[in-house]
Structures are given as C-alpha cells and as structure tokens.
Structure 1
Amino acid sequence: MSQLFHLENCFSTNDAILSLISEDEPTAVFTFNQTKGRGQYGNIWNVTPDQNMAYSLAVKTSDINIQDTFLNYYTAIIVCDFLANLTNADAKIKWPNDIILNGKKVCGILIEKKKNNNKDLYIIGIGINVLQTDFSNLPKAGSILSATGLRFDLKEFTHQFHQYVISRIRNINSEDEILKIYNNSLFRKDEISVFQKNKVRQNGIIKNADKNGFLWIDLDNEGLQKFFHKEIELLY
C-alpha cells in the first residue's frame, strides 16, 4: 500500500510532504501549482499552474538497497520508461537525470535525504511538464503535449504515474543492471555532440556514465575524460 495526497498548491512538494508522511508505508504528494520548486544544484523548477505535475515520494532509506548514485539513475530510468510506454515516443536520459522526450526536456528530478520523526528518508521529487505549450524563453524545454501532441488528464496521469513508480520502487534492479539500463538510455551516447567547457566549445562523444556518477566523454582536443555535473555542458 501507499498514500497519495493532492495539494491545490504548495511552495515545494519535497518540503510539503514532510507533514504528511506515514510511519508504515511510502507516502507521495502532488500538485499542479508548485510555486517555488527546486531543481538540481540550486536550480529553480517552475511550473505553470494546472499544466504540469510536481510529485514527491518519501521512502525510508532502509527500504532502498542501492547506493545514492544508483537511486538517482534508477529514478531516471523509471520516469523514462513510464513516458516511453505511455507515449511510444523517443525517451532518453540526459545525464545526470533530465528526461528528454523527442529531443525536448520534459522532466527534472531532485532526490534529497531528510530526517522526519527520527527516521531517515529519501524524498524523491519529480517534475513533469504535461500540458504546457509556451516555452518561448526555454528553447530546450517541452512538455508531453508539445513534444508528442498527446494530451492527458492531469489527475489520471498522476495516479497512473504514482502506481508505476511504487511498483518499480518495490522491485529495484541490481546496481549492475541499473547501470547497464541507464547507459543504454543515455541521450546522445556514442554520437558526435558539441560540448562547452570553461566557455570553450569542442566536439566530443559521450561514452558512458559510471558507478560514481561521473560522465565519461571523449573530447576532440583532450581525449577521454570524466566529468561531474556542471563541469561540462552538452549543447543540443
């Protein structure tokens, strides 16, 4: 069993969930009007009211039998698989955990560790653009609707998504299998791409992500190197 709460609005589902957590089962919360959502590394995740979904799931750390890096990878795999199955569109993971649907970023993920009532928790925050069509100031962004032409009822979409997430969280793959699936799903893997490092652009090829969270890229001018998030930018 799991609990799923709907909030008409909130600052951040990752914060709001702390007051709703059940002692005995995974708890999730969602809203279609998140006003101060957070992304990775201090980024802001804004949603247009009643067009997109912000969702957070709280699970005890003791219930997760994989390392933090692999939980990050696995969560991205879950969302990528859900969207691919739902839309039959090309869904990929842009390292470390953005979801790209038909070439547009439609989802961001933020996983935090928090303590609540003396219990250690993972708070898995997921924002998905569902119905938004105006991305005039965000040329890389899109929604399920803008990327595929498919329109979904937000509440039905969220309940279906929640059930899928819960089923996958309860049956976690091994770390070796997660790493294999993650690399098979990487956006622009083994393709010549343009990267920006220290304000300098050069071509390179994404080779793989590793178990420590690094991305390995074979750069034209510097050869094979590993990078952590924000150390290099993929231009697409």
Structure 2
Amino acid sequence: MSSLIYLKISTSTNIDIQNFKLYESSFLALYTFNQTKGRGQFNNSWEMIPEENLAFSLMLKSECIKISENLFNFHTATIVRNFIANLTKENVEIKWPNDIILNKKKIAGILIEKKKIDNEEVFIIGVGINILQTDFTNFPKAGSLFTQTKRKFDLKDVAKELFNYFQTQITKSENILEKFNEHLFLKEKIGVFNLKNIRQNGIIKNADENGFLWIDLENDGLKKFFHKEIELLY
C-alpha cells in the first residue's frame, strides 16, 4: 500500500512526514504548497512562496535500498532530473551533488535524511521544486519551471506525477553512476571554481561512486572534492 498525503501548510515536509505510519512494503509521501521552515543541504534554508512551489517528501524503509548512500544520493538526483526533463521536454542537468538545473538556473533541490522511527530505519527524501515563482530577486542563481520554460504547470498534478514516478524508479539500481554523470552540469566544460577563497578555472571530469567530484584545475591539476570543499561559480 502506498499513500500520498496533502497538507495545506507544513513547517517542513521532511519533519511532518515522520508523524505518519509507514506500513509494510509501502511508500509514503507528503506534499504541500506552503512550507514555512524548509531545509536544504547543509542546514541551508529553503524559502518558499505559498501556492507557487512544491515541497515534497518521500519516506521508505532503508532495507529497500541495496546501494551505498552516496550512490543513493546520485540515484535520487537522477530521478528528479529525469522527472523534470520528461515534464518539460527540456535539457535538465544535475549540479553536483544534487541540485537540479534548467537553463543554468537552479529549479529544484534535494535533502536526504536517514532516521529511526518506531525502531525502523527509513530514508526520507525531501524535494523542493520551484514551479510558478517569478521573483528571484534575492536568489539570482534560482529559477522556476515557469521562468525557464514560460509554461504554467498545475501544482497538484506535478506532486501526484512525481509520487508515481518515484514509485517506479526508486528501487532500481542499474547504471546509477553512468546516468548521473551523463547529465552532470558543466561536465567537460571550462568553469570557474572557488577553492580556499582563490578563483581558478577548471573542467569537471566526473563524479565517482564514493560521492567525490573530480575536477581538472588549471593550477592544481586533477583533484577530487567532497561536498562543500569547492564551490562552482556559475
């Protein structure tokens, strides 16, 4: 049995979903269009304008996932990327490790947490997708499905379709790394990076199974980096 729950308002869907029971062999998802205290990666906040964007969380038992947590992170990013690409018919990319980019603007972010609830270990996948928002004055690197495609999408339809797509894809585990690298933002292109407050050019080569990103830097050569060790300026 799988369930999709709608909340008119939520502090954080990743938190509120923990109030619901996850039954045997099921997926449980919760969504809202009004999230007041959303969180992103590394304790960053995810600000949300009511009735313009989607906050969505999916909970499933960790025993359903047979791959490493690093690959699971890449797998989840690829699922969200593919969903948005199918929805928009546009070239959607993944900015390592799991930001979703459409026409050089971040339109979606992902936060994965591992929790123990009622003695059951679960993964909670939080997804925020900017759908109808037009004002990104304070977030110049962000955009929405509407700003990037000039098309308006129905919020409820997107939530339901995302839930259905997750159910068909989340337990698959074929060629995860290859699929992630196939759509890696700025792969094999010259980018500008901030490393220890020094800017230099570099070329993203690939992400590996341990979660590292390999970059060929003009000053330091080929190096690998983990989350927050280097910043891509775009």
TM-score where L is the length of structure 2: 0.98
Residue of structure 1 equivalent to 2:146: 145
Are 1:185 and 2:186 an aligned pair?
A: no
Post-superposition shift, 1:88? Answer: 1.1
Total equivalences in the alignment = 233
Name the SS for the 1:127 alignment partner. strand
> Is the CA contact 1:53–1:127 (under 8 Å) kept in the aligned structure 2?
yes
Q: Give the gaps of 5 or more residues in structure 2.
A: none
Separation in structure 2 between the aligned mates of residue 95 and residue 111 of structure 1, nearest angstrom: 14
Q: Distance in 1 between matches of 2:87 and 2:28?
A: 23
Structure 1: distance between partners of 2:119 and 2:218: 50
Letter in 2 for 1:211: E
Regions of 4+ moved over 3 Å: none
Structure 2 residue matching 1:231: 3-state secondary structure? coil
Q: Give me the whole-angstrom Cα distance separating, in 2, the residues matched to 1:84 and 1:102.
A: 12
Q: 2:225 matched to 1:207?
A: no
Residue 131 of structure 2 aligns with an amino acid whose one-letter code is: V
SS in 2 for 1:204: strand
The aligned runs of 1:113-124 (5 Å cut-off) are: 113-124=114-125
Cα distance, 1:3 vs structure 2: 0.3
Aligned to 1:7: 7
5+ long unaligned stretches in structure 1? none
| 1:144 partner amino acid | L
Contact between 2:188 and 2:205, CA under 8 Å: does it hold in 1?
yes
Aligned identity (percent) is 54
Mapping for residues 49-68 of structure 1, pairs under 5 Å: 49-68=50-69
Hey, what does 2:47 align to over in structure 1?
Answer: 46
CA distance in 2, matches of 1:6, 1:38: 19
How many Å apart are 1:224 and its aligned residue?
Answer: 0.3
In 1, Cα distance between the equivalents of 2:42 and 2:192?
23
RMSD: 0.8
CA contact (8 A) 1:21 1:58 kept: no
Contact 1:13 1:31 in 2 (8 A): yes
Structure 1 CA distance for aligned equivalents of residues 177 and 210 of structure 2: 10
CA distance in 1, matches of 2:74, 2:188: 19
Structure-1-length-normalised TM-score: 0.97
